[in-house]
Amino acid sequence: MNPNVPDSDGAIRYYDGDYPSLELDPPRAGAVQRLAAIGLLGDVAFYRTLAEQAGGPVLEIGCGTGRLTIPMARAGAVVRGVDSSAAMLDRLTRRLDREPAAVRGRVTLTHGNAIGLDPGAFPLVLLPFNLLMLQHGAGTAERLLAAVVAALPPGGRLALDVMNPLTLSAAAERSGIPSSPLIDPWTGASYLKITLAGPVDADGEQLVHGWYEALEDGERAILTDFAFRWRMIPRPRLERLLSDAGLSIEETAGDFDGAPWQPDSRRTVVVARRTG
């Protein structure tokens, strides 16, 4: 979701059901298929490996409910998680409370954005799971990347992933097809997510919205709705944004296992280095 969405937004309430954690939640039938369907299978291992190699504290911008933060801390990384949503950070804190003291001690959380945060202190900065796409509007992604570069020492690394807009499935989403049944790990309740996507405008921006329905005994009842805007980042735009910010790309892949990027890759996964 975008920075500063209200706590009442359904995408916050149902985040951990929408994006199940194989590491943090009880095992659920269908969780692997759900992650594969949205192109997220393998992102935890990818970011965790980079964090283990970082040799210093990791800054995760948009840490959300800790889907990546806690596995990285479990692996020994010291992580500073920043998020603009107090409600998402509250979930992360509740998850962290279940961890051993050593893991809890490696995580520091900040409510807000990363602008002005400890210059040069983080040899690895992460913008995971479409974070850069959520910075829509003129100059917003550029400002965030300037903050990333300020947080990195010279030679420090940025890792990120965004959806590949060439694979946008707008036709299905415009008709509001329900998800497969999902489970909220906080309550155990089943629900459906119905997503609709508007047209992509001339700036590459799209409004995505929809609602959640309870699923009990085959009955469907609307619970709450959600909405966010994002801006498409085709690979050439990403390359330009990074280069203009002073970052040099080391690797570009089409998934989290390092498959070469192709026009039909689900994601664009990049590791870049601060040049100056």
Ligand X SMILES: C[S@@+](CC[C@H](N)C(=O)[O-])C[C@H]1O[C@@H](n2cnc3c(N)ncnc32)[C@H](O)[C@@H]1O
Q: How far is CA 104 from CA 78, 122, 123, 128, in A?
A: 10, 19, 21, 21
Q: What is the dihedral of CA 166, 169, 171, 177, to 10 degrees?
A: -170
Displacement of CA 67 from its chain's centroid (Å): 9
**Number of amino acids touching ligand X (CB under 6 A):** 22
Nearest to 61 by CA among 89, 39, 35: 89
- Give least dist CB 23 to ligand X, A: 11
Task: Out of 17, 57, 62, 210, name the contact with ligand X by CB under 6 A.
Answer: 62
The one among 68, 159, 160, 242 contacting ligand X by CB under 6 A: 68
Minimum separation from the CB atom of position 20 to ligand X (A): 10
Stretch 123-152 residues interacting with ligand X (CB under 6 A) = 128-131, 134-135, 144
Q: Indicate whether 35 belongs to the interface with ligand X (CB under 6 A).
A: no
- The least distance separating ligand X from the CB of residue 235, rounded to whole angstroms, comes to 20
* Nearer Cβ to ligand X (76/137): 137
Residue 24 and residue 196: Cα distance in Å, rounded?
Answer: 29
Residue 1 makes contact with ligand X by CB under 6 A: yes
Instruction: Evaluate whether 47 touches 24 at the Cβ level (below 8 Å).
Output: no
Query: Per-residue string for binding with ligand X, 97-126, x by CB under 6 A?
Result: ----------------x-------------
* Residue list 153-212, contact with ligand X (CB under 6 A): none
Please say which residue, 129 or 191, places its beta carbon nearer to ligand X. 129
On whether the CB atoms of residues 42 and 257 are closer than 8 A, the answer is yes
Among residues 19, 46, 122, 226, which is the contact residue for ligand X, using CB under 6 A? 19
Helix (H) or strand (E) segment spanning residue 232: none
For β-strands 219-231 and 205-216, DSSP reports them as: antiparallel
DSSP string, 212-230: EEEEETTEEEEEEEEEEEE
SS3 274: strand
- Token pair 């269908």 in the structure block, residue: 30
Residue 110, beta-bridge partner list: 82
Q: Rounded to the nearest whole angstrom, what is the least distance from the CB of residue 149 to ligand X in the complex?
A: 15
Nearer to ligand X, 131 or 183 (CB): 131
Q: How far is the CB of 201 from ligand X (least distance, A)?
A: 20
Amino acid at 188: G
For ligand X, the binding residues (CB under 6 A) are 1, 3, 19, 61-64, 67-68, 82-85, 88, 113, 128-131, 134-135, 144
